[in-house]
Amino acid sequence: MPDYSNCPPRLILASSSRYRRELLERLCIPFDVIVPAVDEAPLAAETPEATALRLAEAKARAVAANLAGDARALVIGSDQVATYDGLQIGKPGTHEKALAQLRAMRGREVRFHSALCLFDSGTAAAQTVDVITEVRFRDLPDADLDAYLRAETPYDVAGSAKSEGLGIALLEAIESDDPTALVGLPLIALTRMLLAAGYPLFGAR
């Protein structure tokens, strides 16, 4: 295991998501944000888990590939895919698509795959994991779903359910090993990876 006690590596979040940035800020460690150039479309016949894991690693590797110099960096990539009845649910982008998503999911069990990759640019080692969250949606009327969307505008969130805000009222139950996974960045898994990589999690201030 590398010894970073004297000179910790640069930590980079490979994401355009403000939600992931806000989650990573909870750890009170220094990091940079670089937006990766990655096509997030799923491949034909690809499972939701495979899509999330592939894109999480692709984002981390894309950013690492463009780093200048020989300094070691740990790059965090993450991707989330929601699914029910074998169908993948992505970011809606518009109010109409978000409303259609919520109508389809009400009263149902939905599985969220929150994939994470920590890529070490110095060793080219990639740690990956898929953290699964099971969510049961309430059977709410269209008027409530529409009001929620206009209040939160969660059009950049997979499944349109922003659980850290008013979206929690859409849900009957959440089952997960990591409460931050549903928001988009599984911090329990990430801190485990950082410690395994030798990152001074409690001393990098």
140 φ, ψ (degrees, to nearest 5): -100, 155
Report how far residue 50's alpha carbon sits from residue 47's, in angstroms, rounded to the nearest whole number: 5
93 class by beta-carbon count within 10 Å (0-12 exposed, 13-18 middle, 19+ buried): exposed
List for the chain the helix, strand, coil content (%; round to 5): 30, 25, 40
Indicate the SS3 state at residue 78.
Answer: strand
* 79 part of the active site: yes
Q: Which two tokens stand for residue 92?
A: 């809606």
Catalytic pick from 79, 120, 130, 178?
79
Instruction: List, in order, residues 6 or more apart from 174 with CB less than 8 Å away.
Output: 133, 134, 135, 136, 163, 182
The answer to whether the CB of 91 falls within 8 A of the CB of 156 is: yes
Contacts 24+ apart (CB under 8 A), 64-71: 64/12, 64/119, 64/121, 66/34, 67/12, 67/121, 71/9, 71/10
Active-site annotation, residues: 79
